Amino acid sequence: MIWVNGVSQASIAPMDRGLAYGDGLFATMRTDAHGILFFEQHQARLTAGAARLGFDWQMSQTLSQQLDTLAKQYPQHCIKLMLTRGVGGRGYAPPEQVQVTEVVSVHPIPAQYALWQQQGIRLATSAVQLGHQPLLAGIKHLNRLEQVLIKSQPLPQGFDDWLVLDCTGQVIESSMANIFFVKGNQVITPSLERCGVAGVMREQVMLALLAQQMNIDCLPFGAERLVEFDSAFITNSVLGVVDVLAIDSHTFTPSPLTADLRQTLSLSL
């Protein structure tokens, strides 16, 4: 179930800059019986990300209607929307006239995500570290070769995903989700000023925690500080909120915050 510029099963042009250079960005959005969760926030994030890459994009009414229709046809699914700068020449320089390519696809939610919400997961620290590029930090751009390298490594037995550090040893995220740490009434999530993806669910969780009078900080910190925290959890728009039971050999106690967040934000699978 793929649409390119609104045409079912169409192909992307061989000279599309998304294919040639990863020149674009994407969003993965979860659906329920009412439509796409946090649809306006996903739109705003895509528009802002395109602006940071240097091209103008606003969601058309036609695309919005298509996504709404698909969401209602396929509740409890994942809709992926990719945007590229469109067709360009051989070189890196972007074309003066941009015709954005829009690719929509519909996918089932991975079956293990519901189990992860119930039981939690364990993370192992990846040997692949993220490089620094502040101009791209936070954007969910199409240049995801670092994540491909991370996911190409076999996980140790008993672990479910990778914890990812940057090239200076600072904690950033899991391979596919943002991460939060809890100590009493204090919640800390890594700073993403130099690398990493600032997810829509990360923002929604932070707003929900602030509404509960929790203290939240976005700080850089190294992996050596993980032993200071009582609890940890990961978030993204598809899996919602999931407890982290352990990182490497260090264990965490599941936080009551996670069940509250799933209920408050309607994230249960």
Average pLDDT on 214-228 reads: 94
- Shared domain for 141 and 257, answered yes or no, is yes
Instruction: Determine the pLDDT at residue 22.
Output: 96
Average pLDDT on 18-45 reads: 96
> Which domain range does residue 8 map to?
2-109
Label residues 65-94 b or e (16+ Cβ within 10 Å = b).
ebbeebbeeeeebbbebbbbbbbbeeeeeb
What is the CATH classification number for the domain harbouring 154?
A: 3.20.10.10
pLDDT tens readout for residues 135-153? 999 999 999 999 999 999 9
- Shared domain for 243 and 137, answered yes or no, is yes
Instruction: Determine the pLDDT at residue 89.
Output: 87
Instruction: Determine the pLDDT at residue 174.
Output: 98
pLDDT tens readout for residues 226-244? 999 999 999 999 999 999 9
Q: 84, 102, 140, 235: which is the annotated catalytic residue? A: 140
pLDDT tens readout for residues 246-259? 999 999 999 999 99
> What whole-number percentage of the chain has pLDDT above 90?
96
- Shared domain for 177 and 145, answered yes or no, is yes
What's the mean per-residue pLDDT of the chain? 96
Average pLDDT on 80-102 reads: 94
Average pLDDT on 172-191 reads: 96
CA–CA dist 266, 261 (Å, integer)? 8
- Shared domain for 155 and 223, answered yes or no, is yes
Please list, in sequence order, all residues whose beta carbon lies within 8 angstroms of the beta carbon of residue 44, skipping any fewer than 6 positions away. Answer: none
- Shared domain for 253 and 180, answered yes or no, is yes
> What whole-number percentage of the chain has pLDDT above 70?
100
- Shared domain for 209 and 100, answered yes or no, is no
pTM over 0.75: yes
Instruction: Determine the pLDDT at residue 226.
Output: 95
Average pLDDT on 213-221 reads: 93
Active site residue 40: no
Q: 84, 101, 173, 189: which is the annotated catalytic residue? A: 173
- Which residues, in sequence order, are bridge partners of residue 188? 181, 217
Given 82, 109, 136, the domain boundary residue is 109
For residue 28, give both structure tokens: 């993965």
Q: 28, 101, 189, 235: which is the annotated catalytic residue? A: 28
- Shared domain for 89 and 159, answered yes or no, is no
- Which residues, in sequence order, are bridge partners of residue 170? 222
CA–CA dist 10, 101 (Å, integer)? 12
- Shared domain for 138 and 235, answered yes or no, is yes
Given 109, 132, 163, the domain boundary residue is 109
pLDDT tens readout for residues 191-209? 999 999 999 999 999 999 9
Instruction: Determine the pLDDT at residue 9.
Output: 87
DSSP codes of every residue in 123-170:
EEE-S--BPP-TTTTB--BS--HHHHHHHHSPPPTT--EEEEEBTTSB
pLDDT at residue 187 tops 90? yes
pLDDT at residue 111 tops 90? yes
- Shared domain for 145 and 80, answered yes or no, is no
Three-state SS at 264: helix
Instruction: Determine the pLDDT at residue 163.
Output: 98
pLDDT at residue 25 tops 90? yes
Please tell me the total count of domains within the chain: 2
Identify residue 214 by its one-letter amino acid code: M
Cα distances (Å, whole numbers) of residue 86 to 51, 145, 245: 15, 20, 43
Active site residue 173: yes
CA–CA dist 55, 101 (Å, integer)? 12
* Sign for the pseudo-dihedral over CA of 212, 214, 219, 225: negative
Active site residue 72: no
Instruction: Determine the pLDDT at residue 14.
Output: 94
